[in-house]
Amino acid sequence: MLLAGALLALEILDATALAAALLGTAGLFGLVLGFAFRDLAENAIASLLLSLRQPFAPNDLVSIEGREGHVVRLTSRATVLLTIEGNHVRIPNAMVYKGVIVNYTRSPLRRFDLAAGIGVDEDLAAAQRLGVEVLRATPGVLADPPPQALVEELGESNVVIRYLGWVDQRAADFLAVKSEAIRRVKEALDDAGISLPEPAYRIRLRPDEARPEAPAPALEPRAQPPADIGRRHVVERQADAERAADGPDLLDPAAPREL
């Protein structure tokens, strides 16, 4: 009503040109403010939508647009992650809302894979059976779903076999189980005499530079060190401590989560 009254007064005073100039200036000023505060408004709206959707819970291990870490808190502007290395990552909520979110904690079962290049003259079926048996005996690798060994690729100097196993992240540390599986599979293939050849290169030597090859050293049985596949709670405890500190947080652990 005040704006209509002001326009009517300007019309009576025959000052419509001034009114048009004022309106144009106000429109331009509003456009500038809109561009200036666009990111703030976008992140604020995205934070509201994320707090309603709850795509992740506090301390969930997630990957958002390639940035991986435990969720510390959701603020009105950004989502704060604590990486495995203990670093803070702040991701704008607009990027979180529109981005791809991988939640590793939502499903407790997680699959790992490891690839081994087997010599082209080796028995591939025997290498597959041996790797599966080793994975079954590795602490932390689940029997159901069962481990697998798939022939993946025929390379120039080897055949690539990919071994697959599943881990329950609630009971064991994923990276520790994967590391133990890689070590055991590699040592089992070596002990069975299955070659893991390096890329082949052709080298031409002059006759006076040729040397007789030294005999290969005898292999001794390896001692198996105890496997430490227990869960590491260092980053999780650090994330809990960060959440306990004073600060805004829009995440509610008791709220229903998005399906």
What would the pLDDT profile of 213-240 be if each residue is shown by its tens digit? 666 566 566 666 666 666 666 677 777 7
> Which CATH number applies to 40-106+235-244: 1.10.3720.10, 2.30.30.60, 1.10.1470.10, 3.30.360.10?
2.30.30.60
Distance, in Å, from the CA atom of 133 to the CA atom of 221, rounded to the nearest integer, reads: 18
Residue-range domain boundaries for the chain: 2-36, 40-106+235-244, 109-193
For residue 111, give Cα distances in angstroms to 58, 67, 108, 140, 183: 23, 20, 10, 12, 17
Q: Which of 79, 26, 32, 25 is closest to 51 using CA atoms?
A: 79
Whether the pLDDT of residue 181 is over 80: the answer is yes
Whether the pLDDT of residue 32 is over 60: the answer is no
Q: Which of 121, 113, 193 is closest to 157 using CA atoms?
A: 121
The mean of the pLDDT values for the chain is: 81
Range with lowest mean pLDDT among 64-73, 97-106, 195-204: 195-204
- Check if 40-106+235-244 and 109-193 are the same fold: no
Query: pLDDT tens across 104-149, in order?
Result: 888 889 999 999 999 888 899 999 999 999 999 999 999 989 999 9
Residue type, 108: P
Distance, in Å, from the CA atom of 254 to the CA atom of 141, rounded to the nearest integer, reads: 32
Distance, in Å, from the CA atom of 180 to the CA atom of 124, rounded to the nearest integer, reads: 22
DSSP-assigned letter for residue 204: -
Higher pLDDT, 16 or 162: 162
- What band does 188 get if pLDDT is binned at 50, 70 and 90? very high
Residue-level pLDDT at 30: 59
> Which CATH number applies to 109-193: 3.10.180.10, 3.30.70.100, 3.90.245.10, 3.40.50.970?
3.30.70.100
